[in-house]
Amino acid sequence: MNPVFNTITYEVSERIASITLNRPEKRNALNFVVVKELKEALVVAESSPDVKVIILKANGKAFCSGADLEYVVRLQEYGYDENLIDSTHLMELYQKIYRMGKVVIAQIQGHALAGGCGLVTVCDFSFSVPEAKFGYTEVHIGFIPAIVMVFLIRKIGEARAKEMLLTGDLVSAHKAHSIGIINDVLPIETIENDVRNFALKLCKENSGASMELTKKMMADVQDLPIDDALLFAAKMNARSRATEDCRRGMSNFLQKLPLEW
């Protein structure tokens, strides 16, 4: 039985877990409860043997407008320690998506702003409709895009990240694609099927163990000196050879047998 949440929905079909932001009346804005439930849903998906790929999407006109304004008002009454607890809560969500062993795909049907654009940034793949806008707008209200900055610099480089973070400007889906924030722009009429077909392709054609180890290595290797990085790569190479997926894949390859994961 799928878990039941208040601010999101969770369902599994054909080894794909769909996690859907479900506060359309609030433009799927983030607050403590939404972040908590997203983290819980990701833990369920990661631990489930019936799930291989995760799609993160939303109901309504907006994908995610960032922090809930009512929530922001309450945060102004917090002291440093309370704010640190809250910001760590959001950090843990971004970190979970970025580092978890299963692939996470963002399906963006509307604007992704501030913290919502942060969600897009940390997903492994992101596909958007042409009508969506993207932006890290925190500087416009005297705030800083602190947590997402760590991931965005990795994703698109310092120069592009400065352009997005220091201006706070909104950009089109096509611009977001051109600078590497998202992977592709898809028609609104077909994005649901296109993203699902992409997820099914990953499920059927790729080893889950291989994708998990590849994600781990990409997250860890970038900060290592070249010699340490190569040693780490050699160890990961050896580790992958010991997996059951590798044994099965090699065996089928050598015997020229069809293979569907």
Q: List active site positions.
A: 138
User: Which residues, including other chains, have CB under 8 Å from residue 167's CB and lie 6 or more apart?
Assistant: 139
* Tokens 């039941």, located at residue: 4
Q: Which of 111, 129, 11 is nearest to 64 (CA)?
A: 111
Backbone angles phi, psi at 257, to 5 degrees: -100, 145
Q: Which of 217, 201, 205, 208 is nearest to 243 (CA)?
A: 208
Instruction: State which amino acid sits at residue 30.
Output: L
The answer to whether 119 and 90 have CB atoms below 8 angstroms apart is no
Return the SS3 of 213. helix
Residue 122 to residue 152: CA distance in whole angstroms? 8
The answer to whether 100 and 80 have CB atoms below 8 angstroms apart is no
The answer to whether 53 and 207 have CB atoms below 8 angstroms apart is no
Backbone angles phi, psi at 67, to 5 degrees: -70, 140
Residue 153 to residue 157: CA distance in whole angstroms? 5
Residue 68 to residue 250: CA distance in whole angstroms? 50
Torsion sign (Cα): 243, 249, 250, 252:
positive
